[in-house]
A and B are shown apart, each in its own frame.
Chain A
Amino acid sequence: MQSRLPILVFAGVMAAIPFIPGMPPFWIVLLDNIGLAALVAMGLVLLTGVGGLTSFGQAAFVGFGAYTTALLTTAYGLSPWLTLPLSLLVSGLLAVLLGLVTVRLSGHYLPLGTLAWGLGLFYLFSKLEFLGRNDGISAIPPLSIGSFKMLSPGSIYFAIWVAVILSALLTMNLLDSRTGRAIRALRRGHVAAEAFGVHTPRAKLLVFIHAAVLAGLSGWLYAHLQRAVNPTPFGAQAGIEYLFIAVVGGAGYVWGGVLGAAIVVILKEVLQSYLPLILPGSGQVETIVFGIMLVALLQLAPGGVWPWLVSFLPERAGGKKPDTSLKLEQRSRASGEAGVLLQVEKARKQFGGVVAVNNVSFDVQAREIVALIGPNGAGKSTTFNLITGVLSATSGSISVLGRKVDRAPPQEIVKLGISRTFQHVKLVPDMTVLENVAIGAHLRGHSGPLASMLRLDRADEAKLLAEAARQIERVGLAEQMHQLAGSLSLGQQRIVEIARALCVDPMLLLLDEPAAGLRHMEKQQLAKLLRELRDGGMSVLLVEHDMGFVMNLADRIVVLDFGTKIAEGTPATIKTNPEVIKAYLGVAA
């Protein structure tokens, strides 16, 4: 967990600023605007930088927050404090509605989709009669506590920055939790996260709502700061501007959003007030200079300013080691985890005209290590994908403990106690080894996003991290626990994947080329670990090319060639099987 001290200092400094004697009121206005932009940018950090979902439409959510309170306080005379939850609710509900449609879009459809509804909603604001068309709504009452009315920019300043700092804390709490890890895994594609039970569309929707609610909060504050709203600040231009605030600050960092807001708001202000003095008489020079500076800034620091600044700080010591004495309750086990665990019957997978897996049948018993071998392109990884629900078979059936799971999604397969690693390592490189492994225990934790934000998840979280730490120690990577997964060698990353799979508390472990990239000693350790796991009651199905490794380890071997099973048996019989020799070496002359 990160230290809270810098945040307390920051809050203290922000609280003291208005009391500095001789502080120009204009600066306070600037700080108000920075705070408002920072709230929206913070949502975008989570949505775009962390979750990988680019949205141009955030300005529309700001608009919904602002118009909701504007309408309700003027036309119906509601108190602004009453409209706060309503503003957030309206933004949130709209996010659910738009999110259900948009988050399903992949790649570049998503940003373009958000641009489309962002524009559409902007035009709607400016055309609807009850929202005052282009003139908007004015005479909005100020925020007030008792008889104290926040009329000046200096008094609403506190409301804005309390909101910014609280939101930053809640957002950071969310990121540092079970749900947060699921969100952080989104950017790297959904297959790995889903293999451990993460419901990726739900996680995407969640960040979408979070970002929209923050934008709605900014809108609510905006309406009571300006005391009037009109459609202009909620258009496509503004939506784009919020996005580049986040990118300039550093799209992956909560404080990057705040820093980006400061940079962009101050830069614009400086350009607007000083540029005409240098270049008098010309129209939109500040826009031109602003655009050019933006491109230049991106060319100098493509990752944003915040990470660039942080790189100057001395490196922080690694995190605290979790208390491994905490026990996580075991996965609930079905009866019968003793006989045949996995039965593959005439499984077939066709991609167009290509038959990748051709009517393959085999089984895996309890306490058994089965190896699936075959030359490249034999259909081994496809078979893995069929078993784990990433692909669905064209025909044939796959059953786990006697139950058919042909159409089950990956999230259901893992619940049955089957976990896997990937041929191409799928870790989140900018998360630590510990955090990556903890994703494996996702289904064994229970805390939701709200609990995480409010830090009510700590007991649950400690158990998850303890389990992750135990599995990391078990595979022998305790030294690397707090390093970033991306900084490890490829061989070590494969071992991290095994630790992550073990966090599921599986009955059957599927390993796709676990020994690739390992040194001789490491391979021996891996073989020892797998034998221990088998003796402890787990079964292992592995794909591997290292024949020495397989022959010494496996109890039984299934050989595939061009998608068809050509042999099955003990290592000794496979070694002498003429079909197998032919497949690997060709026909003897």
Chain B
Amino acid sequence: MNTTIMLFLLQDGITNGAIYALLGLALVLVFAVTRVILIPQGEFVTYGALTYASLASGQMPGTAKLALAMGITACAFDLFVARKTLHGRLILRSVLANVVLPAIVLALTISLAAQKPPVAVCIALSLVIVAMIGLYLYRIAFQPLAHTSVLVLLIASVGVHLALQGLGLLFFGAEGQRGPAVLSGAFTAGALRFTGQSLTVYGITIAFIVGLWLFFGLTLYGKALRATAVNRLGARLAGIRTTLSGQIAFLLASIIGALSGIMIVPITTLYYDSGFLIGLKGFVAAIIGGLVSYPLTAVAALFVGIVEAFSSFYASNYKEVIVFMLLIPVLLLRSLAAPAVEEEKD
């Protein structure tokens, strides 16, 4: 092995690792706030990527229709739950947020899709569509289960993953797609060539990590989310609406997922079911970070990306085995370092 190959692998690993870091952050966020282990995170990635790629090639993505359908269902859930205490403002708010908004986005998508909109418009539309799906998803699938155990939430999460993946096949077909680069151009530094795309990946990842840090550290909503994560009941007693915290968490997770998808689809071909494995690697990073620490998750994600890059060079057959088996020693170290703490809850 020479230095060039090593540097090249390192660069490749860091690019992938940055994506895993973003996904890992989203998983940590959702788990901390809602106790949901978000297996459909991978679907947010593919939905974002393939919606973007479809729009860029002038096709109408089915996800826009899904957002409207889910919005109508979410609205129905809202109205059904509040059926005893319905009043005009509540109905109006729910209809506006859950029906009118996705309807407008759908209309926009239909009118724009045919004329191959510029990259920036495609990105904006894809993000909005997937963000809405994430928001409504929480309302429909997880909010009614918010009081149940982590295990039940997890199984529901699997159900959602299956349904969304099936829908992905329906919308985008079994063919893989690639999208146009977000930022074209490249420059070389020594032996290394930096594409605009990979620089975008680094930039956005860093921006998100800083952004999340600021959001949680400085804003009231961020603090409310942290409070919900530590103690649901206590947060409710302090007047924090835990459903709102859940919605914010899902909104952020879906945006992060979609953005990751949009950033990798110009580099690799994505299929409707690619998201699962990508999400799982974000997961590995999140576990190494203990599902609580954001900086540790980010570092772990870079590590996972680099290990993956090197093992695909040396033992490409065993790439996945190595990445997932990597967890065992990490978990062992963790359990030795931190003896099990008594859990008072059920």
Residue of A nearest to B159 (CB): A294
A10 within 8 Å of B (CB atoms)? no
Q: State in angstroms the CA–CA spacing of A288 and B155 once bound together.
A: 15
Query: Any chain B CB within 8 A of the CB of A576?
Result: no
User: B170: which of A115, A240, A282 is its contact (CB, 8 Å)?
Assistant: A282
Q: Is the CB of A302 within 8 A of B152?
A: yes
Assuming A111-B154, A247-B151, A298-B156, is B170 touching A424 (CB within 8 A)? no
State whether the Cβ of A355 lies closer than 8 Å to any Cβ in chain B.
Answer: no
Verify B325–A104 contact, CB threshold 8 A.
Answer: no
Residue pair B159, A291 in contact (C-beta under 8 Å): yes
B144 and A112 form a contact (CB under 8 A): no
Across the interface, A119 reaches (CB within 8 A) one of B150, B324, B340, B341, namely B324
Question: What A residues does B283 contact at CB under 8 A?
Answer: 112, 115
The one of A248, A288, A290, A294 in contact with B167, judged by C-beta atoms closer than 8 angstroms, is A288
Known: A54-B151, A106-B340. A116 touches B159 (CB 8 A): no
Is the pair A291, B145 in contact by a Cβ cutoff of 8 Å? no
Chain B residues with CB under 8 A of A244: 155, 158-159
Partner of B324, one of A116, A191, A247, A290: A116
- Number of A interface residues at 8 Å Cβ cutoff, please give it: 51
B8-19 interface mask toward A, CB cutoff 8 Å, 1 = contact, 0 = none? 000000000000
Give min CB distance, A521 to chain B, whole Å.
Answer: 31
| Inter-chain contact A127/B284, CB cutoff 8 Å | no
Contacts of B317 in A (CB 8 A): 127
Residues of A within 8 A of B156 (CB): 294-295, 298-299
The reply on B164 being an interface residue by CB < 8 A is: yes
Q: Nearest Cβ distance between residue A301 and chain B, in whole angstroms?
A: 10
Is A403 in the interface zone, CB < 8 Å from B? no
Residue from A112, A116, A119, A287 within 8 A of B162 (CB atoms): A287
**B325, A120: Cβ atoms under 8 Å?**
yes
Number of interface residues of B (CB under 8 A): 50
The answer to the question of B126 belonging to the interface, with a C-beta cut-off of 8 Å to chain A, is no
One of B85-93, B95-103, B230-238, B328-336 contacting the partner: B328-336
Nearest to B335 among chain A residues (CB) is A104
| Minimum CB–CB distance for A311 against chain B, Å | 18
Among residues 130 to 163 in chain B, which have CB atoms less than 8 Å away from a CB atom of chain A? 141, 144-145, 148, 150-152, 154-156, 158-163
State whether the Cβ of A108 lies closer than 8 Å to any Cβ in chain B. yes
Asked if B297 is at the interface (CB within 8 A of a chain A CB), the reply is: no
Whether A107 and B343, one on each chain, are in contact in the complex, defined by CB atoms closer than 8 angstroms, is yes
Residue of A nearest to B286 (CB): A112
- Inter-chain CA distance A115–B341, complex, in Å, is 22
Interface string of A297-340 (1 = CB under 8 A from B): 01100100000000000000000000000000000000000000
In Å, the complex CA distance between A288 and B162 comes to: 6
When C-beta atoms are compared, the residue in chain B nearest to A108 turns out to be B291
Q: Which of A195-249 contact B (CB under 8 A)?
A: 236, 240, 243-244, 247-248
Q: Per a CB cutoff under 8 Å, which of B158, B169, B291 touches A284?
A: B169
The tally of CB-CB contacts under 8 A between chains A and B is 152
Contact A291 B162, beta carbon cutoff 8 Å: yes
Q: Tell me the complex Cα distance, A285–B159, Å.
A: 13
| Whole-angstrom CA separation of A54 from B332 in the bound complex | 17
Choose from B144, B159, B332 the contact partner of A101 (Cβ within 8 Å). Answer: B332
Q: Given A282-B170, A284-B170, A295-B159: A127 and B321 within 8 A (CB)?
A: yes
Q: Is the CB of B31 within 8 A of A108?
A: yes
Q: Tell me whether A117 and B328 are in contact in the complex, defined as CB-CB below 8 angstroms, given that A247-B155, A294-B156, A295-B141 are known contacts.
A: yes
Would you call B327 an interface residue if the criterion is a C-beta within 8 Å of the partner chain's C-beta atoms?
yes
Give the docked Cα–Cα distance between A120 and B311 (Å). 14
Question: A54-B154, A247-B152, A298-B152 known; A284 and B324 CB under 8 Å?
Answer: no
Assess whether A243 is in contact with B155, with CB atoms less than 8 Å apart: yes
Interface residue A105 (Cβ < 8 Å from any Cβ of B):
yes
Task: Select which of B150, B164, B343 is within 8 A of A189 by beta carbon.
Answer: B343
Whether A290 and B162, one on each chain, are in contact in the complex, defined by CB atoms closer than 8 angstroms, is yes
CB-nearest residue of chain B to A117: B328
**CB-CB < 8 A to A102: which residues of B?**
331
Q: Which residues of A contact B328 (CB under 8 A)?
A: 101, 113, 116-117, 120
User: Least Cβ distance of A304 to chain B in Å?
Assistant: 9
The 7 A-B residue pairs with the shortest CB-CB distance, nearest first, are A291-B163, A294-B159, A291-B162, A288-B166, A287-B166, A116-B327, A106-B340
A-B contact pairs, 22 of them (CB 8 A): A54-B151, A104-B335, A105-B340, A106-B341, A108-B31, A112-B37, A116-B287, A116-B324, A116-B325, A116-B331, A117-B327, A120-B328, A236-B280, A247-B152, A282-B170, A283-B170, A283-B174, A284-B166, A284-B170, A285-B166, A291-B166, A295-B160
Question: Other CB < 8 Å A-B pairs besides A101-B328, A236-B280, 4 of them?
Answer: A115-B283, A244-B155, A283-B174, A289-B163
